[in-house]
Structure 1
Amino acid sequence: MAASLFEGKAHAASYQRYRLAPPPELQRLLLAYLRDKRASPVQLAVDIGCGSGQGTQVLAAHFEKVIGIDISEAQIEEAKQANSLPNVSYCVSSAEQLPFEDGSVDLITAFVAAHWFDLEIFMKEVDRVLRPDSCVAFSTYTSDVRLQYKDCSEKLTEIFSEAVERLSKYRDERVHRVLDGYKEIYASLPFKDKKRVTDIFGKLSVSVADVIGYFQTFSMYQTFLRSDPERAKALLLEMEQRFLETMGVSSNETQLELWISNVCVLGHKGP
């Protein structure tokens, strides 16, 4: 079950602190799609697999009411504690049994989450709860992650990629849906009007400590941590030291740029 990969309180706290919100480029893509496809404003948006709420909070600026759904009680508790927006609420629920009436939702999103779901059951639920003329957006980071700092960007990216590769044996089989660019998600969506958009690059300024924190949120790192805590913690220390030596700095608060490619599946349920 996906819940077991994200249920721990410490993992949920790391998600709240280090997990990335959908980048502005992805947000603009979604809003443009909605303007093109929908004749009326979105009243109810539901963010499924919301984790600690980064994506849910982004939606709140654009839609009348937003509900974040996640199967993990620990993640939902983190989301609730961080929430200060009056039009956002959260509840614990599985993606395969959504707590909404038939034809009651205008927009369904899932940011870095849809690959964990039972796709056949989930897509039936999506079709059930969406009103006619409503939309979906399912996005994920890809494996294309780049670190930019002065003239050592290539080496920093190599260090990060090597660390990810060392975790490959702890990778859940469902992550293949991410590695294939959400093609299976696209094929599973039961609407004729749909598209898959690739190479949506987001970039942000982060510290070395933030990069290490982001790495810790990976499900495969959490599996490694449970399997061999000492080696898992040693890997983080090794990564940080290699970053600092390569950059020629001593502080893990030194800023660099993190570039991540995203892919998004968009769909419109016709009238």
Structure 2
Amino acid sequence: MKDLFSDNSLLYKQARPDYSDAILQEILKYSSGRALAWDCGAGSGQFSRWLAPYFQQVIATDLSAAQLAQAPKLANVSYCTAPAEVSPLLDGSADLITVAQAIHWFDFDAFYAEVRRVLKPNGCLAVIGYGLIEVENTTLNQLIQQLYFETLKGYWDAEHRYIDEMYQTIPFPFQEQTVSPLSLPYCWSSQQLLNYFNTWSGLKHYMKQHEYSPLHPLEQFFATQPMQTYQVQFPVLLRIGILG
């Protein structure tokens, strides 16, 4: 498992899209137990906090201690620095395992072995993510597409392709359930958008090799529309499986 997000962990917490009750409720349809949830690859606890009201205990793990340090302090949530493939959980202890915007970095075989060890019989695994941002403003959407697919081409880690493929090509050796299509809608300012782009791993790799920012065309566009806000949405990637 790679750690690409310890640097600027506060920006990651502030700039990344949040999840939603609709996502959680879709997952809870298939998770009958409410004793223990393991939020794996939890980062700054963005999904852990959604789980907390529904489970007696949530254990949130991540490879990055810097990310976990940004997570909210909740009475029933315990944070632990650990790789996805080696967790501190007991055998057959978890009712639900969630992975939010992280599974594409995992060693699939090793992680799924850990899932089978940790889940209770008929326990649930939910893999959550979000795809490329979509913007209502046509010109802005084209600039984002150009940045993502052209300027940053060759700068994305190989694992990032699983997001482009909407998580449909990751191995998923569980009893898969049918899920409803979902999206995450927002109204964001230009600064919120720029902050979000600055969390992209591809952009980080680009900046290490160049002395100028690939965000300049977007900054020029935003300069022509001061104080404007933009309707955006992220397509939700969601796969839910049951341990038979």
TM-score (norm 1): 0.83
How many residue pairs end up in the alignment?
A: 243
Give the CA deviation at 1:195.
Answer: 3.2
Contact 2:26/2:180 (<8 A) preserved: no
Which 5+ residue runs of structure 1 have no aligned equivalent? none
Distance across 1 between alignment mates of 2:200 and 2:110? 25
C-alpha distance after superposition, 1:125-183 (max 9, x if no partner): 0010111121010021123x2113xxxx1112111111112112111111121122212
Deviations 1:227-264 (A, max 9, x none): 22x313xx33431321342xxx323xx32222110111
C-alpha separation in 2, matches of 1:205 and 1:23 = 15
Q: In structure 2, what is the equivalent of residue 131 of structure 1?
A: 120
1:117-156 map, 5 Å: 117-143=106-132, 145-148=133-136, 153-156=137-140
Q: C-alpha separation between the residues in 2 aligned to 1:25 and 1:167?
A: 32
Distance in 2 separating the partners of 1:189 and 1:85: 31
Alpha-carbon distance, 1:226 to partner:
2.2
Aligned counterpart in structure 2 of residue 243 of structure 1, from 222, 225, 230: 222
Does 1:208 pair with 2:190? yes
Q: Write the distance in 2 (CA, Å) between the matches of 1:268 and 1:168.
A: 36
CA contact under 8 A between 1:196 and 1:263: conserved in structure 2?
no
DSSP-derived class of the 2:177 partner:
strand
Contact 1:177 1:184 in 2 (8 A): yes
Query: CA contact under 8 A between 2:59 and 2:78: conserved in structure 1?
Result: yes
Distance 2:101 2:217 in 1: 27
Identity of aligned residues (%): 32
2:178 pairs with 1:189: no
Structure 2 distance, partners of 1:32, 1:142, is 23
> 2:195 and 2:109 mapped to 1: Cα distance?
33
Residues in 2 aligned to 1:163 and 1:199: alpha-carbon distance in whole angstroms: 26
The residue aligned with 2:102 is 113
Q: CA deviation at 1:69?
A: 0.8
Which of the numbers 4, 13, 17 marks the counterpart of 2:14? Answer: 17
Q: Which residue of 1 aligns with 2:37?
A: 45
Query: Once the 2 structures are TM-superposed, how far is the Cα of residue 184 of structure 1 from its aligned partner?
Result: 3.0
Give deviations 1:89-133, integer Å, cap 9, x for gaps: 211000011111110111100011001000011001001011112
- Taking structure 2 as the reference length, the TM-score comes to 0.92
Alpha-carbon deviation of 1:199?
Answer: 4.2
**Matched-pair contact (CA < 8 Å) for 1:170–1:221:** yes
Answer yes or no: is 1:231 the counterpart of 2:212: yes
Say which structure is richer in helix: 1
Extract structure 1 runs of 4+ deviating beyond 3 A. 195-199
Q: Structure 1 residues 103, 207: closer, same or farther in 2, change over 3 A?
A: same
- Measured after TM superposition, the shift of residue 25 of structure 1 is 3.1
- Candidates 136, 143, 153, aligned match of 1:159: 143
- Return the letter of the residue paired with 1:241: Q
Structure 2, unaligned runs of 5 or more: none
Q: 2:30 aligns with which of 30, 33, 57?
A: 33
In structure 2, distance between residues paired with 1:73 and 1:225? 24
Would you say 1:56 and 2:48 are equivalent positions?
A: yes
